[in-house]
Structure 1
Amino acid sequence: MNFAMQLIVSVFGTVLTYGLYVVFRLLYSQYTSTFRIVPGPPPSSWWTGNFNEILATENTIFYKKWTDEYGPTIRFRLFFNISRLYTADTKALNHILLHDSVYHKPAIMRWSLGRISGPGLFYVQDHKHKIQRKIMNPAFSPGQLREFTQTFLAKASELRDIWASQINEGETQVDALSWLSKTTLDIIGLSGFNYDFHALSPDGDANELHHAFSTGFQVATRLNIWTIVQGVFSITRLIPSPGSAALRRARNTMRHIGEQLLHESKAYLKATGEKAETWRARDLLSLLVRSNMSTDLQDNQRMSDADVIAQVPTFLVAGHDTTSVGTTWALYALTQHKSVQNKLREELLSVPTENPTAEDLNSLPYLDAVVRETLRVHSPAPETARVAVKDDVLPLNIPFTDRSGVVHHEIRIKKGQHFLLAISGVNMSKKLWGEDAMEFRPERWLEPLPEAVSSIPGVWGHMMTFFGGSHGCIGYRFALLEMKALLFILVRAFQMDLAVPGEQIISRTAVVQRPHVRDEIEAGGQLPVLIKPCSRA
């Protein structure tokens, strides 16, 4: 047998042995899983479990059907019938959020996020996460966010003027999602690191960083069988895949520009000093650099340059996509509830200025209620995942009864078991919010809330939209103020109607839930809206 044949046989044998080991490990973990006693839907297939049902319903089957049948904590199955746990139980969620050293982001989730962001706040865990979070917190304080209000309003006004210029014969159709995505990209560029993407400009796509981020984000969030395999089996990431070269070029561009931005921020800090009265740079990156260079920090408490640079794509992912999608869903809801749109416009037009302060925006009760209700009903992220890295015991607020009739108030957790943590499932729970939980009704926020929602462990608004615990969204105040500024400008200026029947709008999830037109799925995320000037009379 020649050398080439020996090599082929050796490689084939190694792959076969490893494959058999993986299959055996999966079967053994399934046989010994402590999730076996938890009630849940029967699998529709041994090969795919409940995956096809979940895919067909965009995960809404969890909180629209299964939790009603089986309770807030259920077992479901994925490929090869492997068990996973879904929970909307507030006691269980609180326990998981408080014990972040036990429950980590799964490897596939961290790998997917890390492909675009590097070792940023989304990616790191444990001690490194605490260091990054501590250094970044001052940049997201309420006082600092006031500095961004005029940027929010200026870019919202630029979008308003572009839309107004396109109106012919009284109205025009716009893709709200696309335009809001460009607007929020401009906003996070200026507010995040004093970088102007000019995304709202006709030649915005030619911007180097804009192109790199768009390309990298599309590749990194593309979901197919091969990316799932790469996420699960790290050795397969050595094999080039479609888009990997483009992603590498995009990351190199973002790193190069990030290094320039970091150099400029450091140079400015050294030239002006650390004292507040001399510090004039207010973008998030500059504030982060200032915090990281503070003499109050010990060397082992500082972020490396690579960690700081990684926050640039992190800011872009967090500050661009989620806010544009959230605001788009707000416009969708307003087109479907014209009385809400009219009532909101009446409140906004009562403000005697085109340039309100952050305090002005936050003092408008109905605007606040509309934003809250949008983020409750249309949470950008419907679920998130965790994996146990240690054995544990998960307490339950609502016990379950197994097939033998035994009532369980807790679940024994084994290292390596995976969880899907409900966000929309909590936000839309009838047991927590009442029978009208599935309805878009901003007035609920102007009334006393149900007592049950006080048990929800979210970081904001008795909701899970911005998650909770040490991994709760650090920029939620930024997102809320930005949404309010965008709605303030747009709703004052335009009357809005959906350009297609309401039942044509469905959601599809790729990192976040985007609206799609049912008959135009191949066109990607969009929200076609008819706008016409608002008569202030």
Structure 2
Amino acid sequence: MGGYLMPASVSQLILSIFVLFAAYGLFKLFQLIALDINSPIRDLPGPPSKSFLFGNMIEMKAQDGTLETYIAKYGDAMKYWDMLGVTRLCTVDLKAINYVLMHSNDYQKPEPVIYHLQRIVGQGLLVVEGDVHKQRRKILNPAFGPLQIRQLTEIFVDKAIELRDVWNSTIQKQSKSKNAATVDAISWLNRVTLDIVGCAGFDYDFQALYSEHSKNELHRAFDTMYHAILNFELIHIIRSLVPLLRFWPSPSDSKLKQAKDTVFRIGGTLMERSKKNAMAYGKSNTDRDILSLLTRANIDPDVPTNQRMSDEDVLSQIPTFMLAGHETITTGTAWALYSIARHKDMQSKLREELLSIPTDSPSMDVLNGLHYLDNIVRESLRLHPPVPETLRVAMKDDYLPLSKPFKDRNGGQTLSIPIRPINLAESTWGKDAWEFNPDRWDNLPEAVSSIPGVWGNLMSFLGGPRSCIGYRFALVEMKALLFTLIRAFEIDLAVPPENVRGTMGLRRPTLTSDPVNPNQLPLVIRPVVRS
């Protein structure tokens, strides 16, 4: 039999489409090369690119602290290479950083980053820019203010106590004679922070502390969305950089769509419940979760129409809040436990302060009044910010006020805001900048006051109009967890400290000695014997 012959018109159409995409790809490649040739940072010092495809990304991912090493070698204003020949300006010049953060409309997230986040979390606060961001931020601010966090502190503490009790049970099961146990801090903190953000965010208890092997539907959906953020496959990189190819399907697209559908379906049910409660009880409604607060504000006749969000806008905040709040607090608390475990004298000093409080259930004001606990949290977030770097792109021609200013002639220049390198700069913090020293917060160098962070002379929560809206939530939750765990347990590292390093992107502690299962932080815990 003869073979099937494709009609000439169809083959010509396919060839035309192929040529079109090839031409577009060449155009984008030429555009990138032209942008680099005309780049105002072309003559800045920096590491040589290892490859056109990956730039310096592979070495930065492979070795923790690579960006800090680059800055130490090439100076406070330098460049490094992103993928496909794109250069990034990276500076720890505080005047320039403050300028970029305060002019958030002129320096926005790069479009490929927005695309990647948007396909996962939708139109949440993390993604929107300009006037839309300003309006939503104004509406959301009360939900993250001191009054609201004060009301949520009981949830933080109650869940921390549940984790304490689970760890006590683990000790009993693992070794009754030694009265000790080894636990994976990452795994357990992941569960407790998920429970906290569920209850505090939208009155939904995942019960993750008690469901190690049987995650509920919403828990599985958020797991899928979280891994979609971290697993930036090659096809996603291509789609983010070449908008014309965003129709190109990815093997993970169907799973992600199913997860998002689950989140918005269950979120919609929870929002309708909040609406019914708000309409039934009005201002006497005592529901304290953030979703209920937003729902009440949206139907309050005293709130102007332009200060309300649509139901769709309210729902879009759920995945953003879950993913941003849950993972970053897990990471921040894990690094704090790591630091405390390495410095037993500091751990003892902290425990002495915490045990001076006569209750297991402190208020927000009590937690914030514990001086050494505050120093510990500040120092841990200085050394180990959960997000070590963020990106911005110039939306127009501009002069960046560096020590040696230059003009971005064409806009479009990508800038790295190196959060961790700024937190570790010896020129600002002194010669012991890389050391864990909580006492430094009692006598800070004068240069620290120039850091434009929203909290504590740190860049960990950024600054300006796009600073982290949930920083108070994160701080009080971290303090509640540390308060409860350090009062109850002596904590040691179960591995040598040099076996633990941070990852690129979200800077989680990982175990280098277990490449098969690196996402862990093993701790040895023993009950505290109170005299």
TM range (shorter): over 0.9
Q: Secondary structure at the match of 2:513?
A: helix
Q: Is the 8 A contact 2:60 2:504 kept in 1?
A: no
2:18 aligns with 12
| 1:469 lines up with 2:478 in the alignment | no
- Post-superposition offset of 1:280: 0.8
Q: Is 1:295 the equivalent of 2:297?
A: no
Match of 1:456 in 2: 451
The yes-or-no answer on 1:243 pairing with 2:252 is: yes
Post-superposition offset of 1:3: 1.7
2:162 maps to 1:158: yes
Shift of 1:80: 4.2
Partner of 2:127: 123
One-letter identity of the residue aligned with 1:320: H
Q: Is the 8 A contact 2:107 2:392 kept in 1?
A: yes
Q: Which residue type is aligned with residue 73 of structure 2?
A: E
Q: Is the 8 A contact 1:220 1:247 kept in 2?
A: no
Given candidates 479, 494, 497, the residue that maps to 1:499 is 494
Alpha-carbon distance change, 204 to 260 in structure 1, aligned in 2, over 3 angstroms: farther
Q: For 2:462, give the aligned amino acid.
A: F
Deviations 1:295-343 (A, max 9, x none): 3444344212111001111110122111111111111111111111111
CA shift in 2, pair 1:117/1:369, >3 Å: same
Aligned to 1:185: 194
Q: Which amino acid is the alignment partner of residue 22 of structure 1?
A: K
Moved more, 47-56 or 130-139: 47-56
Which residue in 2 is equivalent to 1:533? Answer: 527
Aligned with residue 319 of structure 1, among 315, 318, 325: 325
Instruction: Please report the RMSD computed on the Cα atoms of aligned residues, expressed in angstroms.
Output: 1.6
Instruction: Look up the match of 1:358.
Output: 364
**1:113 alignment counterpart:** 117
Residue equivalent to 2:274 = 265
Task: Select between 202-211 and 356-365 the one with higher mean Cα deviation.
Answer: 202-211
TM-score, structure 1 as length reference: 0.94
1:201 corresponds to? 210
| Matches of 1:421 and 1:409, distance apart in 2 | 17
Corresponding residue of 1:444 = 440
Structure 2 counterpart of 1:81: 85
Measured in 2, the distance between the counterparts of 1:47 and 1:321 equals 30
Cα gap change, 1:322 to 1:80, in 2 (>3 Å): closer
Do the aligned residues in 2 keep the contact of 1:381 with 1:423 (CA within 8 Å)? yes
Name the aligned partner's letter for residue 349 of structure 1.
L
Other-structure match for 2:397: 391
Matched, 1:38 2:44: yes
What is the CA-CA distance between 1:522 and the residue it aligns to?
2.9
Residues in 2 aligned to 1:15 and 1:113: alpha-carbon distance in whole angstroms: 25
TM-score calculated relative to the size of structure 2: 0.95
In 2, the alpha carbon distance for the partners of 1:203 and 1:494 equals 22
CA change 1:482–1:204 in 2 (3 A) is: farther
Of 330-339 and 261-270, deviating more is 261-270
Deviation at 1:37, TM superposition (A): 2.5
Residue 522 of structure 1 aligns to a residue in which SS? coil
Q: Please state if 1:68 is matched with 2:55.
A: no
1:22 counterpart = 2:28: yes
Task: State the match for 2:350 in structure 1.
Answer: 344
Read off the aligned partner of 1:439 and give its amino acid letter. Answer: E
Residue 422 of structure 1 and its aligned partner are, at CA, apart by: 1.1
Once the 2 structures are TM-superposed, how far is the Cα of residue 47 of structure 1 from its aligned partner? 4.7
Aligned match of 2:243: 234
How far off its partner does 1:81 sit?
A: 3.3
Residue identity matched to 1:248: K
Q: Secondary structure at the match of 1:76?
A: strand
Query: 2-side partners of 1:104 and 1:412: how far apart?
Result: 15
Tell me how many residue pairs correspond in the alignment. Answer: 520
- Structure 2 CA distance, aligned partners of 1:40 and 1:239? 35
| 1:246 shift after superposition | 0.7
Residue ranges of structure 2 left out of the alignment (5+ in a row):
1-6
Q: 1:354-433 to 2 correspondence within 5 Å?
A: 354-396=360-402, 399=403, 408-412=404-408, 414-433=410-429
Whole-angstrom distance in 2 between the partners of 1:44 and 1:213: 35
